[in-house]
């Protein structure tokens, strides 16, 4: 391949969906990530950029709109999912929004994310809210069930009303360098998704190297992923800033080469408002503020929302807030 | 701006650090005197210290006079015996207390530093102050372990230390921590523009209960610094600052025997190979050139990028520059703060506009600078060549120049195409490539896949005109210590009167005329003149070539062509030195006889000198593969290697005593470490070395590694001292002659070692048979290699 020179980083008003591209092994060969340099950049971002007072409040409201409010536990029930959806419809207490002058901003999370089993429950609970339902799929979290059943799982979730499918990759394909296999599988998953957006979970904590993370990111994007996502939340190491940097830089490179904007979703372990702000600063610095919209960036989180609410309440009252005063997620 | 707007545009807004406590501290202390003998003096001859971000006056600082310096030096002298006799643990406790107190006042120091210097609070808070604290912790350990780690060493005494304005407290720490750990007392002058953190530090010394007089701080301008440098009772000068001032200090201290370490300017290359992680390399440049507004001696200010990725790299770099925020240093969300003062702003802007006129292509990102204060945008020049002054000169501001290279050899050639040699960065994911480049770079610090990393455990300091001496690590401790024996050296007894020519030449054998030995050949001198060589009785025993400028030129030329000697294995260099010893041993009677003949030494003494010379050849053969480096322990996931490297071309001038042993010793030391030598034989007794030509010729010494010239030692040494291709100069001679030689060395700031009329004992192994001279034949390159997948 011949590498393109970086163009103007302009926000595309009409987001164009990733049509998918041929697997470009030359491009893949050019991908390297230097871990220690990524760590230094990641480590300094929180010190280089900070938001205070009303800026912080505005950023935190934005953060809420970027959350995939998630419940992915083996003891989930319909009741639990309904409660989550109710929270999604009213993520912040009305009086706080009013005090902040944000009552017209239509603050609601990017999606509600559940197992296939609860898709229909969530769809029903969210009816009329315009909040999409995302389903984790393809043998989540390990991705090792038979390929046919993984494809059927996607189709079933789409049929049940999921607008977004969070699929998992087979980590072994990355570790063994089977890029062709990974590419084919992603293409098949994407076809099964149809109109639903495909979010590709890489399981970055199990990919061993930052270069593997970057290469896997590229292969998934070439195969047609709409989002690339760090983790299932079930690995030992979930989202972190240096891995985010690897993935964001691959998204940027992909955009430079193809003009297609791919979304990014860090998931697992992001539980404080401060964490969220640091991630947002990283995205703004590396990608531009235009990437901080729900169709290009999501947090996979649940308890994050409560911490954000507490900070917003503090902003309004000047008193530190208690978690039990925020409606349970 | 309301929340709705911010929700849409996601501006950062302002995040100012509260400077209240710093202002309160200034208000309480505002009118500053000096810190001498544990007390603050009354303020006098004051001038204003200005906040460069606002132009506001912060405080009044006293301009130190000669008398102030004198009383500070006296206080330091008085304190020295007590401080240096304190146990290592005793000194360690004070250094530890200082570290703790700095830590407890870290934010006050950080805010004060940003107010006074204009640097971003993020940098003073996250870099300057933590590194300064770490320096005191680290050196507390050195104080305690000094005796075991550096036995038979002793402190200099009173150290005069002059520091710049770019890292006020950090440079103070780099100077004071090792000096105190070693047992010295100090008189330190902070830069006139940034004295506040040093004055707060003085209060920390008081709080730590540091014995009075151990640390003295005299504020003021250049004249105050000059008074320290010129003071007779100062034993060592440590200076960080510009190369020009460094040269003046070298000249001023020439011949005084004052220890000297200089950390000077730089124009450090930042080399990016096409297999690098390009985005990370772009980000690394932010650390390299836009850290501290580019006011960094080791700033990576010369970007060298491989041709295949150049265009893409530059575009990415421009995009990154567009994200850098220039603004209020106390705002936590800015990247670049204020330059130190309006003079510097005007100077750098002048360079930028001259650069544009020269045809270089200027890039500065869009956006506005603050309305007032000393600000300059991050600046990039492309379309420049090595011939452009933008590329040659240190700019000391946020200005990067970018060039491309085709292959690794060209990268090295461009990197080394500078009179400076402070630091370098190398970016490549290929370990083989990176480690091929690192040893070839003439720089004291090399960062692989990173930039601008510092730590107390790792030496920092330059090659070439970036200065000499190291700060940090064991190598840094050595800069504040002397050998015990060195401090006890006595002046040479009055030299024996040289015999006058009493008899004309008696033809007793075949005519003996010594030529020069250059580039592996015996060659006739350029002048066509010879001078008579007399025996001890004043009879002429032959003629020696009377060397001149051109002989020196030719010898240095030949030597520099033989620099590949350094790339030979240490084992091979050892083998050749052993062979020299072996061949000298075959002919030892003849060499002893020659010493007897020319100097009138007794047979026993002459034969002892030859035996000792053979021993020395063996000694340094044996050291060739043993005098090596270290792996340091900075607090990060990295390998930091201290690598021992030769200086390059070393000029050597032999004394009139020890006519064989002294030159053989110096030559053996030099070449054992991979240097090449231009040696001037003893003025009056050159035949011992001209006889040695045949030994060289039969010992497989590559042409140019050893070059020998006879003639007037002082005249020829001065030519060597002034020669810019000579990297080091060792001169045995009187105090006055040594002063001339040292003063003449400032052209390229070559490292000098002179005997200054002192009675070094050439036959003493502790003095001349080991590390003492090896240290002078080498310089340490510290290489940082962070790792991880």
Residue pLDDT, tens place only, B158-180: 999 999 999 999 999 999 999 99
Residue A38: list chain B partners with CB under 8 A. 277, 280
How buried is residue A73: exposed, middle or buried, by Cβ count under 10 Å (0-12/13-18/19+)? Answer: exposed
Q: Is B297 a catalytic residue?
A: yes
Pick among 2.30.110.10, 3.40.605.10, 3.40.50.1980, 3.40.50.150: CATH of B20-264 = 3.40.605.10
The answer to whether the CB atoms of A32 and B14 lie below 8 A apart is no
Could you report how far apart the first and last alpha carbons of chain A are, in Å? Answer: 48
The number of C-alpha atoms within 13 Å of B482 and in the hemisphere containing its C-beta is: 19
pLDDT given for residue A2 in this prediction: 67
pLDDT given for residue B508 in this prediction: 59
Whether A4 is in a domain gets the answer: no
Instruction: Identify which of B7, B287, B789 has the shortest CB distance to residue A61.
Output: B7
Determine contact, residues B184/B26, Cβ cutoff 8 Å: no
Q: Is A229 a catalytic residue?
A: yes
A264 touches chain B (CB under 8 A): no
CB atoms within 10 A of CB B476: 28
Convert the pLDDT of each residue in B131-152 to its tens digit.
999 999 999 999 999 999 999 9
Residues 100-139 on A with a CB inside 8 Å of B are: 100-102, 104-105
A223 compared with B512, residue with greater pLDDT? A223
Nearest chain A residue to B312 by CA: give it: A5
Q: Quote the percentage of chain B above a pLDDT of 70.
A: 98
Q: Strands A111-115 and B236-240, how do they pair?
A: unpaired
Distance (Å, rounded) from C-alpha B750 to C-alpha B243? 12
For CA atoms B644, B646, B647, B652, the dihedral sign is positive
Q: Which of A87, A163, A215, A229 is catalytic?
A: A229
- DSSP labels, B125-145: IIIIHHHHHHHHHHHHHHHHH
Distance (Å, rounded) from C-alpha B325 to C-alpha B321? 9
The number of C-alpha atoms within 13 Å of B341 and in the hemisphere containing its C-beta is: 11
Residue B381 has pLDDT above 60, yes or no: yes
Q: How far is A159 from chain B (nearest CA, A)?
A: 35
Residue B509 has pLDDT above 70, yes or no: no
For domain B489-780, the CATH superfamily is Aldehyde Dehydrogenase; Chain A, domain 1 (3.40.605.10)
Phi, psi of A280 (to 5 degrees): -65, -40
Residue A37: list chain B partners with CB under 8 A. 277, 280-281, 283-284, 449-450, 786
- Helix H or strand E encompassing A38: helix A35-48
Residue A284: list chain B partners with CB under 8 A. 10
Distance (Å, rounded) from C-alpha A83 to C-alpha A17? 32
Mean pLDDT, residues B616-641: 97
pLDDT given for residue A326 in this prediction: 85
Mean pLDDT, residues B651-669: 97
Q: Which of B113, B123, B263, B295 is catalytic?
A: B263
Distance (Å, rounded) from C-alpha B688 to C-alpha B692? 6
Whether A203 is in a domain gets the answer: yes
The answer to whether the CB atoms of A36 and B786 lie below 8 A apart is yes
DSSP-based three-state secondary structure for B649: strand
Determine contact, residues B369/B399, Cβ cutoff 8 Å: no
Catalogue the long-range contacts made by B22-29 (C-beta closer than 8 Å, 24 or more residues apart). Answer: B22/B108, B22/B111, B22/B112, B22/B115, B25/B108, B25/B112, B25/B200, B26/B58, B26/B59, B26/B112, B26/B196, B29/B59, B29/B199
Instruction: Say which CATH number the domain at A244 has.
Output: 3.20.20.70
Distance (Å, rounded) from C-alpha B707 to C-alpha B723? 15
The answer to whether the CB atoms of B6 and A37 lie below 8 A apart is no
The answer to whether the CB atoms of A37 and B7 lie below 8 A apart is no
Q: How far is B297 from chain A (nearest CA, A)?
A: 22
- Please give the structure tokens belonging to residue B592: 């002893």
The number of C-alpha atoms within 13 Å of B147 and in the hemisphere containing its C-beta is: 10
**B268-465 matches B20-264 in CATH topology:** no
> CATH for B268-465?
3.40.309.10
Nearest partner of A122 among A78, A163, A155, judged by Cα: A78
Nearest partner of B598 among B654, B666, B542, judged by Cα: B542
pLDDT given for residue B511 in this prediction: 73
Torsion of CA A117, A121, A127, A133, to 10 degrees: -20
pLDDT given for residue A7 in this prediction: 52
Q: Which of B272, B283, B319 to mutate to test the interface with A (most CBs of A within 10 A)?
A: B283
Q: Quote the percentage of chain B above a pLDDT of 90.
A: 96
Whether A1 is in a domain gets the answer: no
- DSSP labels, B222-284: HHHHHHHHH-TT--EEEEES-HHHHHHHHHHHTTS--EEEEE----EEEEE-TTS-HHHHHHH
Whether A38 is in a domain gets the answer: yes
Instruction: Identify which of A35, A36, A289 has the shortest CB distance to residue B9.
Output: A289
Nearest partner of A289 among A124, A104, A55, A107, judged by Cα: A55
- Helix H or strand E encompassing B314: helix B307-321
The answer to whether the CB atoms of A48 and B335 lie below 8 A apart is yes
- Place B265 in a pLDDT band, splitting at 50, 70 and 90: very high
Q: How many CB pairs below 8 A link A and B?
A: 114
ipTM over 0.90? The verdict is yes
Convert the pLDDT of each residue in B448-486 to its tens digit.
999 999 999 999 999 999 999 999 999 999 999 999 999
pLDDT given for residue B501 in this prediction: 72
pLDDT given for residue A328 in this prediction: 85
A40 touches chain B (CB under 8 A): yes
Determine contact, residues B158/B76, Cβ cutoff 8 Å: yes
Chain B residues with CB-CB distance to A under 8 A? 1-7, 9-15, 122, 125-126, 275-277, 279-281, 283-284, 287, 309, 311-312, 315-316, 319, 323, 332-333, 335, 429, 449-450, 637-638, 786-789
Mean pLDDT, residues B542-552: 95
Q: How does the average pLDDT of chain B come out, rounded?
A: 96
Phi, psi of B305 (to 5 degrees): -125, 140
The answer to whether the CB atoms of B4 and A102 lie below 8 A apart is yes
Instruction: Identify which of A6, A41, A58 has the shortest CB distance to residue B312.
Output: A6
Q: Strands A111-115 and B516-518, how do they pair?
A: unpaired
The answer to whether the CB atoms of A104 and B14 lie below 8 A apart is no
Instruction: Identify which of A3, A40, A57 has the shortest CB distance to residue B312.
Output: A3
Mean pLDDT, residues B409-431: 98
Instruction: Identify which of B275, B309, B312 has the shortest CB distance to residue A32.
Output: B275
Distance (Å, rounded) from C-alpha B295 to C-alpha B291? 8
Residues 6 or more apart whose CB falls under 8 angstroms from that of B644 comprise B627, B628, B629, B673, B778, B779, B780
Determine contact, residues B751/B644, Cβ cutoff 8 Å: no
- pLDDT < 50 stretches in chain A: 8-12
Nearest partner of A313 among A324, A321, A304, A305, judged by Cα: A321
Nearest chain A residue to B281 by CA: give it: A37
Distance (Å, rounded) from C-alpha B466 to C-alpha B419? 8
Distance (Å, rounded) from C-alpha A256 to C-alpha A214? 15
Phi, psi of A235 (to 5 degrees): -80, 165
Residue B504 has pLDDT above 90, yes or no: no
Q: Which domain holds residue A276?
A: 25-325
Determine contact, residues A163/A17, Cβ cutoff 8 Å: no
Residue with tokens 């070395």: B689
CB atoms within 10 A of CB B500: 7
The answer to whether the CB atoms of A37 and B450 lie below 8 A apart is yes
- Helix H or strand E encompassing B707: strand B706-709
Nearest chain B residue to A104 by CA: give it: B4
Q: Which of B12, B337, B433, B639 to mutate to test the interface with A (most CBs of A within 10 A)?
A: B12
Residue B506 has pLDDT above 60, yes or no: no
Residue A4: list chain B partners with CB under 8 A. 312
Determine contact, residues B679/B662, Cβ cutoff 8 Å: no
Mean pLDDT, residues B277-299: 98
H helix runs in B52-184, sequence order = 66-85, 88-104, 106-117, 121-123, 129-149, 168-182
pLDDT given for residue A8 in this prediction: 47
Determine contact, residues B786/B449, Cβ cutoff 8 Å: yes
pLDDT given for residue B505 in this prediction: 55
Q: How far is B443 from chain A (nearest CA, A)?
A: 22
Convert the pLDDT of each residue in B210-226 to its tens digit.
999 999 999 999 999 99
Determine contact, residues B587/B688, Cβ cutoff 8 Å: no
A316 touches chain B (CB under 8 A): no
H helix runs in B384-493, sequence order = 389-392, 408-415, 431-437, 473-478, 484-487
Q: Which of B1, B8, B13, B275 to mutate to test the interface with A (most CBs of A within 10 A)?
A: B13
Count of helices and strands (H, E) across chain B: 29, 35
Count of helices and strands (H, E) across chain A: 13, 8
- Place B512 in a pLDDT band, splitting at 50, 70 and 90: confident
How buried is residue B540: exposed, middle or buried, by Cβ count under 10 Å (0-12/13-18/19+)? Answer: middle
Whether A275 is in a domain gets the answer: yes
pLDDT given for residue B495 in this prediction: 61
- Domain count across chain A: 1
- Helix H or strand E encompassing B752: strand B751-754
Q: Where do the domains of chain B lie?
A: 20-264, 268-465, 489-780
Q: Which of B297, B298, B374, B450 is catalytic?
A: B297
pLDDT given for residue A10 in this prediction: 47
For CA atoms A328, B3, B5, B6, the dihedral sign is negative
The answer to whether the CB atoms of B332 and A51 lie below 8 A apart is no
Q: Which of A9, A27, A30, A37 to mutate to test the interface with B (most CBs of B within 10 A)?
A: A37
pLDDT given for residue A327 in this prediction: 85
Mean pLDDT, residues B112-129: 98
- Please give the structure tokens belonging to residue B434: 């990176």
Cα B171 from chain centre: 15
Strands across the sheet containing B399-405: B361-363, B379-382, B399-405, B300-306, B268-272, B423-427, B445-448, B778-786, B638-646, B630-632
- Please give the structure tokens belonging to residue B512: 């003996």
Whether A5 is in a domain gets the answer: no
Residue B416 has pLDDT above 80, yes or no: yes
Whether A11 is in a domain gets the answer: no
Cα B271 from chain centre: 22
Strands across the sheet containing B35-36: B39-40, B35-36, B215-217, B185-189, B158-162, B236-240, B259-263, B467-468
Cα–Cα distance list, B190 to A258, B197, B220, B222 (Å):
55, 9, 8, 10
pLDDT given for residue A164 in this prediction: 98
Residue B760 has pLDDT above 90, yes or no: yes
Residues 6 or more apart whose CB falls under 8 angstroms from that of A294 comprise A65, A66, A110, A111
The answer to whether the CB atoms of A37 and B277 lie below 8 A apart is yes
Cα B113 from chain centre: 26
Convert the pLDDT of each residue in B561-583 to its tens digit.
999 999 999 999 999 999 999 99
């Amino acid at each position: 391949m011949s590498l393109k020179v970086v163009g103007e980083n302009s926000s595309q008003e009409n987001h164009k969906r990733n049509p998918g591209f041929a697997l470009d092994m030359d491009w893949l060969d050019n991908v390297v990530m230097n871990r220690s340099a990524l760590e230094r950049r990641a480590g300094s971002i929180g010190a280089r950029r900070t938001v205070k007072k009303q800026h912080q409040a505005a950023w935190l409201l934005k953060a809420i709109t970027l959350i995939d409010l998630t419940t992915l536990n083996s003891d989930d029930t319909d009741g639990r999912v309904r409660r989550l959806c109710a929270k999604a419809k009213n993520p912040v207490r009305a009086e706080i929004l009013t005090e902040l002058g944000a009552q017209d901003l239509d603050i609601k999370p990017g999606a509600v994310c559940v197992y296939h089993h609860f898709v229909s429950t969530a769809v029903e609970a969210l009816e009329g809210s315009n909040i999409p339902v995302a389903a984790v799929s393809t043998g989540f979290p390990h991705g090792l069930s038979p390929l046919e059943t993984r494809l059927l799982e996607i189709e079933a979730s789409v049929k049940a009303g999921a607008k977004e499918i969070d699929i998992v990759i087979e980590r072994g394909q990355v570790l063994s360098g089977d890029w062709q296999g990974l590419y084919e599988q992603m293409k098949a998953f994407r076809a099964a998704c149809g109109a639903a957006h495909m979010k590709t979970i890489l399981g970055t904590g199990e990919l061993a190297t930052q270069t593997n993370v970057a290469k896997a990111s590229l292969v998934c994007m070439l195969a047609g992923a709409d989002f690339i996502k760090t983790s299932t939340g079930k690995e030992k190491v979930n989202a972190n800033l240096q891995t985010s940097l690897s993935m964001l830089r691959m998204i940027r490179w992909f955009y430079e080469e193809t003009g297609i904007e791919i979304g990014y979703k860090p998931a697992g372990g992001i539980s404080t408002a401060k964490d969220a702000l640091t991630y947002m600063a990283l995205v703004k610095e590396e990608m531009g503020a235009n990437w901080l919209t729900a169709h290009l960036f999501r947090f996979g989180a649940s308890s994050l929302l409560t911490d954000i609410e507490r900070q917003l309440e503090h902003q309004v009252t000047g008193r530190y807030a208690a978690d039990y005063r925020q409606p349970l997620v | 701006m309301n929340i709705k707007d911010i929700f849409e545009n996601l501006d950062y807004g302002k995040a100012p650090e509260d400077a209240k406590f710093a202002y309160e501290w200034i208000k309480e202390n505002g009118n500053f005197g000096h810190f001498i003998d544990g007390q603050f003096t009354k303020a006098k001859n004051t001038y204003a210290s200005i906040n460069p971000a606002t132009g506001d006056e912060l405080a009044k600082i006293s301009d130190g006079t000669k008398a102030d310096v004198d009383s500070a030096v006296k206080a330091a002298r008085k304190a020295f015996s007590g401080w240096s006799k304190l146990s290592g643990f005793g000194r360690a406790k004070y250094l530890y207390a200082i570290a703790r107190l700095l830590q407890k006042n870290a934010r006050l120091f950080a805010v004060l530093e940003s107010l006074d210097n204009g640097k971003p609070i993020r940098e003073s808070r996250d870099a300057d102050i933590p590194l300064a604290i770490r320096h005191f912790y680290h050196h507390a350990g050195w104080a305690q372990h000094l005796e075991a780690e550096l036995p038979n060493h002793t402190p200099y005494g009173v150290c005069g230390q002059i520091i710049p304005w770019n890292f006020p407290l950090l440079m103070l720490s780099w100077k004071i921590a090792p000096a105190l750990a070693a047992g010295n007392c100090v008189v330190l002058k902070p830069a006139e523009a940034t004295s506040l953190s040093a004055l707060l530090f003085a209060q920390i010394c008081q709080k730590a209960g540091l014995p009075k007089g151990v640390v003295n701080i005299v504020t003021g301008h250049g004249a105050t610094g000059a008074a320290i440098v010129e003071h007779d009772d100062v034993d060592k000068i440590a200076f960080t600052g510009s190369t020009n001032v460094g040269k003046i200090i070298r000249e001023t201290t020439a011949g005084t025997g004052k220890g000297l370490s200089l950390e000077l300017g730089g124009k450090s290359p930042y080399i990016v190979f096409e297999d690098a992680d390009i985005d990370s390399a772009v980000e690394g440049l932010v650390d390299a050139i836009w850290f501290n507004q580019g006011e960094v001696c080791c700033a990576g200010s010369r970007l060298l990028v491989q041709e295949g990725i150049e265009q893409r790299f530059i575009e990415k770099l421009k995009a990154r520059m567009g994200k850098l925020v220039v603004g209020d240093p106390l705002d936590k969300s800015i990247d670049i703060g204020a330059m130190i003062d309006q003079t510097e702003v005007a100077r750098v802007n002048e360079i930028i506009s001259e650069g544009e006129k020269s045809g270089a292509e200027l890039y500065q990102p869009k956006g506005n600078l603050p309305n007032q204060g000393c600000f300059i945008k991050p600046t990039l020049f492309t379309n420049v060549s090595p011939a452009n002054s933008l590329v040659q000169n240190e700019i000391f501001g946020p200005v990067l120049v970018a060039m491309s290279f085709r292959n690794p050899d060209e990268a090295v050639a461009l990197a080394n195409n500078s009179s400076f040699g402070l630091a370098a960065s190398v970016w490549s994911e290929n370990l083989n490539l990176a480690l091929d480049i690192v040893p070839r770079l003439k720089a004291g610090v090399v960062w692989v896949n990173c930039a601008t990393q510092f730590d107390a455990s790792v030496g920092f300091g330059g090659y070439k005109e970036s200065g000499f001496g190291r700060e940090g690590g064991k190598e840094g401790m050595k800069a504040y210590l002397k050998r015990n024996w060195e401090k006890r050296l006595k002046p040479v007894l009055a030299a024996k009167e040289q015999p006058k020519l009493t008899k004309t030449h008696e033809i007793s054998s075949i005519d003996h005329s010594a030529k020069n030995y250059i580039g592996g050949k015996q060659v006739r001198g350029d002048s066509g003149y010879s001078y008579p060589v007399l025996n001890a009785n004043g009879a002429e025993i032959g003629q020696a070539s009377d060397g001149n400028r051109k002989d020196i030129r030719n010898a240095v030329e030949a030597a520099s062509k033989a620099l590949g000697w350094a790339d030979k294995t240490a084992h091979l260099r050892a083998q050749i030195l052993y062979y020299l010893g072996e061949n000298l041993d075959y002919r030892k009677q003849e060499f002893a006889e020659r010493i007897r003949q020319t100097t009138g030494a007794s047979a026993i003494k002459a034969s002892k000198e030859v035996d000792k010379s053979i021993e020395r050849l063996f000694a340094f053969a044996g050291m060739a593969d043993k005098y090596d480096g270290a792996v340091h322990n900075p607090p990060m996931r990295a390998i930091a290697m201290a690598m021992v490297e030769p200086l390059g071309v070393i000029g050597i001038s032999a004394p009139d005593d020890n006519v064989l042993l002294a030159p053989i010793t110096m030559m053996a030391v030099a070449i054992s470490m991979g240097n090449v030598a231009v040696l001037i034989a003893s003025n009056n007794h050159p035949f011992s070395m001209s006889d040695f030509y045949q030994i060289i010729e039969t010992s497989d010494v590559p042409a140019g590694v050893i070059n020998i010239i006879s003639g007037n030692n002082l005249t020829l040494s001065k030519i060597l001292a002034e020669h810019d291709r000579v990297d080091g100069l060792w001169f045995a001679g009187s105090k006055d002659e040594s002063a001339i030689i040292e003063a003449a060395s400032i052209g390229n700031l070559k490292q000098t070692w002179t005997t200054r009329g002192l009675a070094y004992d050439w036959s003493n192994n502790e003095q001349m048979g080991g590390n003492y001279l090896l240290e002078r034949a080498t310089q340490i390159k510290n290489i940082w290699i962070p790792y991880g997948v």
